[in-house]
Amino acid sequence: MIFSTRSTYGLRAMINLAKQQKSGSVSLAMIARQEQMSLKYLERLFSGLKKAGLVKAAKGASGGYSLARSARQINVHDIVKALEGELNVFHCTGEKEKIYCSQQCRCEVNHVLFRVEQAITKTLKGIRLSQLV
Residue range(s) defining the domain that contains residue 80 = 5-132
Mean pLDDT of the chain: 86
Q: What burial class does residue 91 get, using C-beta atoms within 10 Å of its C-beta: 0-12 exposed, 13-18 middle, 19+ buried? A: exposed
- In 3D space, the residue among 62, 61, 30 whose CA is nearest the CA of residue 46 turns out to be 30
80: confidence class by pLDDT, cuts 50, 70, 90: very high
Quote the number of domains for the chain: 1
pLDDT tens per residue across span 9-28: 999 999 999 999 888 899 99
The CATH number given to whatever domain includes residue 57 is 1.10.10.10
